[in-house]
Amino acid sequence: MNRISMTTIALALSMALGLAGCSGMSRQGKNTAIGAGVGAAGGAILTGGSAVGTVGGAAVGGIIGHEISKP
């Protein structure tokens, strides 16, 4: 497998495991976690698996998820 598909598979697996622990979280916490996961996946795909792109995407996605669910 090439690097991009391995990164995508690893990211999807870690997102699934991470979201399994969200059962006791608030709605805002869940949205933040989901936003971070989606942002990380998007950042990894758009930058070809770059660590900086993945972390940057997670940060931006987490902030967006957090802000969307504010009252």
Q: Give the pLDDT confidence score for residue 58 in this predicted structure.
A: 92
Contact between residue 13 and residue 33 where contact means Cβ atoms under 8 Å apart: no
pLDDT at 2: 60
This prediction has a pTM of 0.67
CA proximity to 37, closest of 62, 70, 64: 62
**What does the domain layout of the chain look like in residue ranges?**
3-68
Model confidence pLDDT, tens digit, residues 43-71: 988 888 888 998 999 999 999 999 987 77
Q: Which residue has the higher pLDDT, 2 or 62?
A: 62
List, in order, residues 6 or more apart from 69 with CB less than 8 Å away. Answer: 27, 28, 31, 32
In the predicted structure, residue 8 carries a pLDDT above the cut 80: no
